[in-house]
């Protein structure tokens, strides 16, 4: 529409140059219109009385009033009336002309006011429409869940266009007092790219917003210090406004709009920006909720992995420590982790460590000695989680020795309590900044699993050692029984038998009956001796104590009714429990082969290899040996396991039985 002015002309404030342009435009156009009106009046003057024609000049006044305002219109009204009086008017027309001038001026003021109001409401409705569509665009992005950087860029752009700024930055407040740029848009080259951390050391809108918690406005950076002021001066920024972004009631960040124009942002701009930032808050809440969900899922998965390993209850829990160190480091975003066991002398032993610059100091089995200030020491002393912040430490000697070369800024450790006894600690450390406040809480989930794994392992170890003790005690009893039989009954019977032979030899030759009777007695005693021998051999093979495993196995092989192919590669004697276990396995396997498997041939191999005693018994019998049916094999299994060894039995029906035993020679 012809009366609709360009936004740039009216939206700009009434500063010097547009005012001059307005008056000049009104005057020039008014002059032309007055000339046209005068021409028209001159033509009409031939037919009509001149006094009524004065009203024609309204045609010049009204457009000027609408387009250029009341001032130029008043000027045009005066010009029109003067022109009429000088060029057209008959004598004595000054009175009516003055009246007409009054009417013209009043009309000009009213019409100009109406036109200005109309223009203002059109402008406002355009602005509102612009803001509404900006809000809609941002809301759509939020609803689509676009990645945060994309959303932040979009919001920066919308704010910039909406309030006609030269530069817009979206910044997030960090716990350490700085802000990080997360989005920006500008008509000027952006000097601080997204991701830059800015110290709020001098004047800045961000600092004001954080201080007041509300909107802020700065209209001059002249003579100010600091990063932000320096950037502003370099870009020619003269005014800035900022609006807070609050997420869940906490100040999360700020939107800062800046302009080279010192009076760029009219009152109410903050309110318009605020409506957009509310959407940012929603998006951040959503994104954080999603991140939290993902983090929870990752944490659950990590815990499951660790728990699975721990639940296997292996005799050696060190893989659990290693995986815990790995998972904790990844999950908590720490740079370094350590798992330690506390010792009774106040020191500790490293079980696993990851990410340290000096890994040698923290190899599994390495010692840790009490030092201060240290989270590990604090856990050791209090039995509770501990946290230390080293970021303010300037003198290296204030750090504990183990951290001096590590560049650690923040450390947290939590206790591992096994059956309510302080057993050890898991520690994490960061080189970049403070570890999050929930670190302790999240560590505890892991320390609990480690504690369970240790409790399992310890109870297994206790079970194994108590089983070993029971078996060893039974063995000792059998050995003593065998020895008592040997030293007592057998020894006396042997002497008796020999004595009877001596007596028989002393009997005079003519007493043949007596001699024979004594001979029978001697034979009887010998028979009893043989029975006793069988009994004693079943209790404990004397050959094993006297000669060791090699001779004992050879004796077994020689006595066996089935041919035995025996290979013995043993150099020395081993501890009783190992020799007895190996002997019983061979003896039981041989008995099975003969009695149940109907074997024709048995192979026995015994050798010392890699710090363990290996025993193999294989027969060519019917197979199908069942370990679960309370056979002698079950007891042997227990015996072998109690020594930390392994026993494998393979006995497919029809394909022979193969028993392999591995007994560690070092005491578990």
Partner 1 sequence: MRRCVIVDDNERFLAVARSSLERGGLEVVATATTTTEALEKIDALKPDVVLVDIALGSESGLDLVRRIVAATPSGPHVVLISTHREEDVAELVSGSPAAGFVWKADLSARAVRDVVAAGDQ
Residues that bind partner 1 (CB under 8 A): 486-487, 490-495, 497-499, 501-502, 505, 525-526, 529-530, 533, 537, 542-543, 546-547, 550-552, 554-555, 558-559
* Shortest Cβ 557–partner 1 spacing (Å): 10
| Length of the chain (residues) | 668
Per the structure block, which two tokens stand in for 341? 């066991």
* Shortest Cβ 548–partner 1 spacing (Å): 9
* Shortest Cβ 304–partner 1 spacing (Å): 57
Q: Which is nearer to partner 1, 323 or 485 (CB)?
A: 485
Q: Which is nearer to partner 1, 5 or 548 (CB)?
A: 548
Q: Which is nearer to partner 1, 93 or 560 (CB)?
A: 560
DSSP state of 84: I
Distance (Å, whole) CA 187 – CA 379: 55
Give the helix ranges, DSSP H, for 69-144.
Answer: 70-83, 94-144
* Shortest Cβ 533–partner 1 spacing (Å): 6
Helix 70-83 to helix 58-68 angle (10° resolution) is 160
Q: Which is nearer to partner 1, 418 or 497 (CB)?
A: 497
Distance (Å, whole) CA 179 – CA 172: 5
From 385, 320, 323, select the one nearest 354 (Cα to Cα): 323
Phi then psi for residue 342, to 5 deg, are -80, 140
Phi then psi for residue 412, to 5 deg, are -135, 140
* Shortest Cβ 561–partner 1 spacing (Å): 14
SS3 256: strand
Farthest-apart Cα atoms in the chain, separation:
204
Burial 292-310 (b: 16+ CB within 10 A, else e): eeeeeeebeebbeebbebb
Question: Which residues, in sequence order, are CB contacts of 553 under 8 Å at separation 6+?
Answer: 566, 568, 582, 583, 586, 604, 606
* Shortest Cβ 329–partner 1 spacing (Å): 58
User: Any idea which residue has 């048995």 for tokens?
Assistant: 602
Q: Which is nearer to partner 1, 307 or 489 (CB)?
A: 489
Q: Which is nearer to partner 1, 333 or 563 (CB)?
A: 563
Counts for the chain of helices (H) and strands (E), in that order: 18, 17
* Shortest Cβ 302–partner 1 spacing (Å): 59
The two beta strands, 612-619 and 602-609, are: antiparallel
Phi then psi for residue 170, to 5 deg, are -110, 125
Q: Which is nearer to partner 1, 307 or 543 (CB)?
A: 543
Q: Which is nearer to partner 1, 558 or 666 (CB)?
A: 558
From 205, 185, 72, 84, select the one nearest 138 (Cα to Cα): 185
The two beta strands, 386-389 and 410-418, are: antiparallel
Q: Which is nearer to partner 1, 550 or 624 (CB)?
A: 550
* H or E segment and range at residue 392: none
Q: Which is nearer to partner 1, 188 or 498 (CB)?
A: 498
* Shortest Cβ 605–partner 1 spacing (Å): 17
Q: Which is nearer to partner 1, 525 or 647 (CB)?
A: 525
**Beta strands per DSSP E along 308-406:** 336-342, 348-354, 367-368, 386-389
* Shortest Cβ 660–partner 1 spacing (Å): 24
- Name 426's bridge partners: 339, 414
Q: Which is nearer to partner 1, 450 or 500 (CB)?
A: 500
* Shortest Cβ 516–partner 1 spacing (Å): 18
Question: Is 274:181 a contact under the CB 8 Å cutoff?
Answer: no
Distance (Å, whole) CA 426 – CA 332: 12
Distance (Å, whole) CA 97 – CA 294: 84
CA dihedral 86, 90, 93, 98 (to 10 degrees): -30
User: Any idea which residue has 């504690």 for tokens?
Assistant: 451
Give Rg (Cα) of the chain.
52
**Beta strands per DSSP E along 296-358:** 336-342, 348-354
* Shortest Cβ 545–partner 1 spacing (Å): 9
Per the structure block, which two tokens stand in for 36? 């046209």
Q: Which is nearer to partner 1, 273 or 549 (CB)?
A: 549
* Shortest Cβ 609–partner 1 spacing (Å): 23
* Shortest Cβ 662–partner 1 spacing (Å): 25
Q: Which is nearer to partner 1, 551 or 632 (CB)?
A: 551
From 537, 662, 544, 660, select the one nearest 603 (Cα to Cα): 660
Residue 242: CA atoms inside 13 Å, Cβ hemisphere, count? 28
* Shortest Cβ 659–partner 1 spacing (Å): 22
* Shortest Cβ 551–partner 1 spacing (Å): 4
Q: Which is nearer to partner 1, 46 or 558 (CB)?
A: 558
């Amino acid at each position: 529409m012809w009366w609709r002015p360009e936004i740039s002309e009216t939206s700009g404030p009434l500063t010097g140059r547009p005012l001059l342009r307005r008056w000049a435009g009104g005057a020039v156009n008014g002059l032309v219109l007055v000339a046209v009106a005068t021409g028209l009046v001159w033509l009409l003057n031939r037919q009509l009385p001149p006094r009524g024609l004065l009203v024609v000049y309204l045609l010049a006044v009204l457009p000027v009033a609408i387009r250029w305002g009341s001032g130029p219109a008043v000027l045009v009204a005066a010009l029109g009336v003067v022109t009429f009086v000088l060029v057209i008017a008959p004598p004595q027309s000054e009175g009516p002309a003055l009246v007409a001038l009054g009417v013209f001026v009043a009309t000009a003021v009213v019409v100009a006011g109406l036109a200005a109001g109309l223009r203002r409401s059109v402008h406002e409705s355009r602005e509102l429409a612009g803001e509404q569509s900006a809000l809609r665009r941002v809301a759509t992005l939020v609803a689509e869940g676009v990645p945060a950087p994309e959303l932040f860029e979009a919001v920066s752009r919308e704010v910039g266009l909406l309030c006609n700024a030269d530069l817009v930055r979206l910044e997030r407040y960090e716990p350490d007092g700085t802000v990080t740029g997360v989005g920006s848009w500008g008509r000027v080259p952006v000097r601080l790219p997204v991701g830059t951390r800015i110290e709020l050391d001098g004047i800045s809108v961000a600092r004001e917003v954080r201080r007041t918690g509300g909107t802020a406005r700065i209209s001059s950076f002249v003579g100010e210090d600091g990063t932000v002021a320096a950037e502003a001066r370099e870009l020619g920024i003269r005014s800035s406004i900022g609006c807070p972004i609050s997420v869940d009631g906490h100040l999360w960040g700020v939107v800062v709009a800046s302009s080279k124009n010192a009076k760029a942002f009219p009152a109410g701009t903050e309110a318009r920006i605020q409506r957009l930032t509310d959407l940012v808050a929603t998006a951040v809440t959503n994104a954080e909720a999603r991140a939290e969900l993902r983090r929870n899922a990752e944490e659950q998965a990590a815990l499951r992995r660790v728990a699975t390993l721990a639940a296997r209850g292996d005799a050696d829990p060190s893989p659990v420590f290693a995986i815990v160190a790995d998972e904790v480091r990844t999950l908590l975003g720490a740079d370094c982790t350590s798992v330690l066991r506390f010792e009774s002398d106040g020191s500790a032993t490293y079980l696993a460590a990851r990410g340290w610059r000096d890994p040698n100091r923290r190899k599994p089995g390495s010692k840790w000695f009490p030092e201060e200030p240290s989270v590990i020491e604090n856990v050791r002393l209090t039995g509770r989680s501990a946290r230390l912040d080293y970021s303010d430490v300037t003198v290296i000697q204030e750090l504990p020795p183990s951290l001096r070369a590590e560049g650690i800024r923040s450390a947290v450790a939590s206790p591992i309590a096994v059956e309510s006894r302080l057993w050890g600690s898991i520690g994490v450390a960061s080189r970049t900044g403070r570890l999050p406040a929930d670190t302790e809480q999240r560590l505890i989930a892991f320390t609990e699993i480690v504690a369970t794994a240790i409790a399992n392992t310890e109870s297994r170890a206790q079970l194994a050692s108590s089983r070993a003790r029971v078996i060893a005690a039974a063995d000792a009893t059998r050995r003593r029984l065998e020895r008592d039989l040997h030293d007592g009954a057998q020894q006396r019977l042997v002497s008796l038998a020999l004595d009877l032979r001596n007596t028989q030899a002393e009997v005079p030759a003519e007493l043949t009956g007596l001699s024979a009777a004594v001979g029978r007695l001697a034979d009887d005693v010998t028979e009893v001796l043989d029975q006793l021998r069988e009994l004693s051999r079943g209790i404990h093979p004397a050959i094993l104590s006297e000669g060791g495993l090699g001779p004992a196995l050879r004796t077994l092989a020689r006595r066996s009714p089935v041919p035995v192919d025996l290979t013995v590669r043993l150099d020395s004697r081993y501890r009783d429990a190992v020799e007895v276990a190996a002997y019983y396995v061979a003896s039981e396997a041989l008995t099975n082969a003969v009695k149940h498997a109907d074997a024709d041939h048995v192979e026995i191999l015994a050798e010392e290899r890699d710090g363990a005693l290996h025993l193999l018994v294989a027969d060519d019998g019917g197979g199908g040996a069942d370990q679960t049916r309370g056979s002698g094999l079950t007891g042997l299994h227990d015996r072998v396991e109690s020594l930390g060894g392994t026993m494998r039995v393979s006995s497919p029906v029809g394909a022979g039985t193969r028993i392999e035993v591995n007994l560690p020679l070092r005491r578990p």
